[in-house]
Amino acid sequence: MFILDEGTRIVVPRTELTYPGHNMKLHTNAANAEKTPVDHVMADLEDACPYEFKGDKSRATMIEALNKLDFGKKVITVRPNNLKSEFFRGDMDAVLKEAVDKFHGIIIPKCNGPEDVKLVSDTLDELESKYGWKTKLAIEALIERPRALEYAYEMAMASPRMAGLIFGIADYTAELGVDPKYCLDRQNEVFHYEKKAVITAAKAAGIHAIDNVYLALWRKNDSPERIKEVEDGLKKKCEGSAAIGMDGTWVIHPQQAVVANNAFTPNEQQIKEAIHQLDFYHEMGGGSMFNPKTGEMIDEATAKIALMRVSKACLAGLVDKKYLDSMAEKSKSITGYDILNSAE
């Protein structure tokens, strides 16, 4: 999760938009609240950036966008070139020097293990101090290699900066020798183990888990039937990954935002149930008890699930933040730890 605005705002992203960082038009679109209603944007200097733009050209565009555009309440992150690339250090130095306190985090691509997280964390320590940052940048690590999956928990625990793990299906399937197009609509089945491993590692460390992109997009001249087919596929993918514990998903185009947001946002009945569970749990002073109104047992685990659900509803503007904060504080007084930041 991202802890922003001097600790007053917690964001567990439902949607993370990735787009080429060398293209100012795409930065502008990403910043637009109406065109792009996502929780998180990630400007990419790595895979989405052609070689001819790498280095000074893409960095200059990135820096201009970070300094001039208003991204509103979106979480803003930068994806530099991978650690083994000749461009990594230059990317990091440029954006931290020229865009002080203008973004919230770094995405580590092609991460191999905890040593990579520590290297990025140490680099951020150095550059934040050198350039006078007040913001402590967070880290999200991409799990897009089989080796990284084996070290997912160690990566999640490698730095206090860690905010989330992201499953990257394209590079992962490439290393397996699998074409993701042939399992596009069965990915939650085919990659069930990998997704659950990322979720388990992230949740054990108290950070969020983000699902991979859905590669199909509709075009402006597509038929209504084709558009519905693509959106139904995205909805199926997102609802399936939400059901097994993913907090959100990467998206590759603003057209995917609404469908994906809805899949990771509790519905009215779920919110109502969560609020009732929290109210009843705290009225009874915690512990484990039978709720005669619903016929269910409610305990600390129930309250934790309910609080995370209310947190997502708050992000969607469906629950007042004061209520969320009060429930989190009450839970902390009973359990001794902050459910919304359980790695503490």
Please write the tens of the pLDDT for every residue from 267-287: 888 898 889 888 888 888 777
The average confidence (pLDDT) of the chain is 89
pLDDT digits (tens, 9 = 90+) for 35-62: 999 999 999 999 889 999 999 999 999 9
Q: 279 and 255, same structural domain?
A: no
Q: 256 and 195, same structural domain?
A: yes
CB 105 within 8 A of CB 70: no
Domain total of the chain: 2
CB 283 within 8 A of CB 293: no
CA atoms within a 13 Å half-sphere pointing along the CA-CB vector of 3: 12
Report the distance separating Cα 212 and Cα 24, nearest Å: 24
pTM here? 0.86
Return the SS3 of 197.
helix
Q: 324 and 215, same structural domain?
A: no
Report the distance separating Cα 334 and Cα 328, nearest Å: 10
Report the distance separating Cα 183 and Cα 208, nearest Å: 25
Q: 285 and 239, same structural domain?
A: no
At residue 333, the pLDDT reads: 74
Q: 235 and 280, same structural domain?
A: no
At residue 230, the pLDDT reads: 93
Q: 308 and 209, same structural domain?
A: no
Q: Of 91, 112, 115, which Cα lies nearest the Cα of 103?
A: 91
pLDDT score of 5 more than 80: no
Domain boundary among 263, 293, 325: 263
Q: 177 and 91, same structural domain?
A: yes
At residue 284, the pLDDT reads: 80
pLDDT digits (tens, 9 = 90+) for 78-129: 999 999 999 999 999 999 999 999 999 999 999 999 999 999 999 999 999 9
pLDDT score of 227 more than 90: yes
Q: 230 and 292, same structural domain?
A: no
Q: 104 and 35, same structural domain?
A: yes
Domain boundary among 263, 281, 314: 263
Q: How far, in whole angstroms, is CA 150 from its chain's centroid?
A: 20
308 or 27, higher pLDDT: 27
At residue 7, the pLDDT reads: 66
Q: Would you call 108 exposed, middle or buried from its count of C-beta atoms within 10 A (0-12, 13-18, 19+)?
A: buried
- Residue numbers of the domain that contains 222: 2-263
Report the distance separating Cα 301 and Cα 197, nearest Å: 20
Report the distance separating Cα 76 and Cα 324, nearest Å: 23
Q: 86 and 227, same structural domain?
A: yes
Q: 293 and 234, same structural domain?
A: no
At residue 16, the pLDDT reads: 97
Contacts 24+ apart (CB under 8 A), 183-187: 184/214, 184/215, 184/216, 184/233, 185/233, 185/236, 185/237, 187/212, 187/237
Residue 235's pLDDT band, with cuts at 50, 70 and 90, is very high
pLDDT digits (tens, 9 = 90+) for 282-304: 888 777 787 887 888 887 777 77
Residues in the chain: 344
At residue 279, the pLDDT reads: 87
Residue 290 φ/ψ, nearest 5 degrees: -90, 130
At residue 223, the pLDDT reads: 94
Residue 165's CB is within 10 A of a number of other CB atoms, namely 27
Report the distance separating Cα 246 and Cα 38, nearest Å: 16
Give the CATH number of the domain where residue 83 resides.
3.20.20.60
pLDDT digits (tens, 9 = 90+) for 173-226: 888 888 767 777 789 998 999 999 999 999 888 889 999 999 889 999 999 999
CB 48 within 8 A of CB 19: yes
Q: 83 and 97, same structural domain?
A: yes
Domain boundary among 234, 263, 292: 263
